[in-house]
Chains A and B, each alone.
Chain A
Amino acid sequence: MHHFPWLTVVTFAPLGGAVVLAAFPSRALNLHRWWALVVSIATFALSLGMLGAYHGGTGGFQLMERATWVESLNFQYIMGVDGISLFMVLLTTFLMPAAILVSWRVERQVKYFMIALLILETAMIGSFLALDLLLFFFFFEALLFPMYLIIGGWGSERRVYAAVKFFLFTMAGSAFLLVSILFLYFRAGSQLGHPTFDLTQLQQLSLPAATARWLFLGFFVAFAVKVPLFPLHTWLPDAHTEAPTAGSLILAAVLLKIGAYGLIRFNLSLFPQASMYFRVFVSILALIGIVYGAVVALIQTDIKRLVAYSSVSHLGFIVLGTFAFTNKALSGSVLQMVNHGLSTGALFLLVGMVYERTHTRDLGRMGGLAGTWPALTGVFLFVALSSVGLPGLNGFVGEFLILLGTFVVTKAFAVAAVTALVLAAIYLLWAYQRMAHGPVKNEEFSRLPDLNLREWAILVPIMAAILFIGVFPKPFLSKIEPTTDTVATCEWAVNGRDQPGEPVVSGAVPLECFQQAPLASLGGP
Chain B
Amino acid sequence: MIGLLAQAAPTTHGPIKLGPIMPELIIAGTAILLMLMDSLRATRDQRPLVLLSLAGLAAAAAYSISLWNWKGPATVLGGMVAADKFAVFFRLVLISVAALGVLLSSHYLDRAGEARGEYYPLLLFATAGMTLITAAADLILVFLALEILSLSLYLMTGFSYRRMASAEASMKYFLLGAFSSAFFLYGIALAYGATGTTSLSGIAGHLSGQIGPVALALGAAGLLATGFGFKVAAVPFHMWTPDAYQGAPTCVTAFMSAGTKVAAFAAFLRVFDVALSPLIWDWKPFIWVMAALTMVVGSVLAIAQTDVKRMLAYSSIAHAGFILVAVAAASQAGIRAAMFYLAAYAAMIIGGFGVVMLVSVRGERNTSLTSYAGLARRSPFLAVSLTVFLLSLAGIPGTAGFIAKVVVFSAAVQSGHWELVLIAVIASVVAAFFYIRVMVLMYMQDPPADDTVLRIERAPVGEVAVAIPAVLTVLFGILPGLLFGFLTHASVIRF
Contact = CB atoms under 8 A, between A and B. Distances in A.
Given A167-B436, A183-B418, A186-B413, A178 B425 contact: yes
Contacts of B425: 175-176, 178-179
A70 B428 CA distance: 24
A247 to B, nearest CB: 13
Going nearest first, the 6 A-B pairs with the smallest beta carbon separation are A175-B425, A138-B397, A70-B481, A182-B413, A142-B397, A141-B397
B410 interface: yes
Contact of A142 (B396, B433, B485): B396
Interface string B146-169: 000000000000000000000000
A73 B484 contact: yes
B420 to A, nearest CB: 10
Interface residues of A, number: 37
Given A71-B484, A141-B397, 18 more contacts: A73-B484, A134-B406, A138-B397, A142-B396, A142-B398, A145-B391, A148-B436, A152-B444, A153-B443, A159-B444, A160-B440, A172-B429, A175-B422, A175-B428, A175-B429, A179-B418, A182-B409, A185-B410
Contacts of A153: 443-444
Interface string B402-444: 1000110110011000100110011011001100100010011
A121 to B, nearest CB: 15
B454 to A, nearest CB: 19
B484 A70 contact: yes
Contacts of B487: 72
Interface string A458-496: 000000000000000000000000000000000000000
Contacts of B78: none
Contact of A167 (B413, B432, B443): B432
Nearest to A141: B397
Contacts of B219: none
A182 B405 CA distance: 11
B481 A69 contact: yes
B407 A73 contact: yes
A152 B432 contact: no
Given A168-B432, A175-B426, A186 B398 contact: no
Interface in A169-200: 171-172, 175-176, 178-179, 182-183, 185-186, 189
A382 interface: no
B397 A149 contact: no
Contacts of B397: 137-139, 141-142
A69 B479 CA distance: 7
Contacts of B398: 138, 142
B440 A186 contact: no
Nearest to A138: B397
B488 interface: yes
Interface residues of B, number: 31
B413 A179 contact: yes
A86 to B, nearest CB: 24
B19 interface: no
Contacts of B413: 179, 182-183, 185-186
A221 to B, nearest CB: 12
Contact of B422 (A164, A179, A186): A179
B432 A171 contact: yes
Contacts of B402: 138, 141
Interface string A122-159: 00000000000010011101101100110011000001
A112 interface: yes
B485 A72 contact: yes
Contacts of B440: 152, 160, 163-164
A160 B391 CA distance: 18
Interface of A: 69-73, 75, 109, 112, 134, 137-139, 141-142, 144-145, 148-149, 152-153, 159-160, 163-164, 167-168, 171-172, 175-176, 178-179, 182-183, 185-186, 189
7 contacts: A70-B481, A75-B480, A137-B397, A148-B436, A153-B443, A171-B429, A182-B413
Contact of A179 (B421, B436, B443): B421
Nearest to A178: B425
Interface string B335-374: 0000000000000000000000000000000000000000
A164 B436 contact: yes
A69 to B, nearest CB: 7
A266 to B, nearest CB: 17
A144 B396 contact: yes
Contacts of B422: 175-176, 179
Nearest to A153: B444
Contact of A178 (B409, B432, B484, B488): B409
B429 A168 contact: yes
Nearest to A170: B429
Contacts of B481: 69-72
A185 B398 CA distance: 21
A74 to B, nearest CB: 11
B123 to A, nearest CB: 34
Interface centre among B426, B429, B487 (most CB of A within 10 A): B429
Nearest to A71: B481
Contacts of B410: 73, 182, 185-186
A172 B426 contact: yes
A145 B477 CA distance: 16
Contacts of B433: 164, 168
A186 to B, nearest CB: 5
A368 to B, nearest CB: 37
Interface in B425-469: 425-426, 428-429, 432-433, 436, 440, 443-444
Contacts of A139: 397
A112 B429 contact: no
A148 B439 CA distance: 10
Contacts of A185: 410, 413
Contacts of A144: 396
A179 B421 CA distance: 7
Nearest to B482: A70
A160 B407 CA distance: 32
A178 B426 contact: no
Nearest to A159: B444
A112 B436 CA distance: 17
B310 to A, nearest CB: 21
A57 to B, nearest CB: 36
Contacts of B409: 178-179, 182
A134 B397 CA distance: 10
A144 B397 CA distance: 10
Contacts of B488: 72
- Output the residue of B398, B409, B444, B481 with the most chain A CB within 10 A: B444
A73 B409 CA distance: 13
A168 B429 CA distance: 7
B325 to A, nearest CB: 12
Nearest to A182: B413
A464 B432 CA distance: 43
A220 to B, nearest CB: 16
A109 B487 CA distance: 42
B396 A160 contact: no
A164 B487 CA distance: 37
Contact of A72 (B418, B444, B484): B484
Contacts of A69: 480-481
B433 to A, nearest CB: 6
A369 to B, nearest CB: 33
A72 B491 CA distance: 13
B326 to A, nearest CB: 13
A141 to B, nearest CB: 5
Contacts of B406: 134, 178, 182
A69 B396 CA distance: 18
Contacts of A138: 397-398, 402
A311 to B, nearest CB: 24
Interface string B236-262: 000000000000000000000000000
B426 A112 contact: no
A361 to B, nearest CB: 21
A332 B444 CA distance: 41
B396 A141 contact: yes
B335 to A, nearest CB: 13
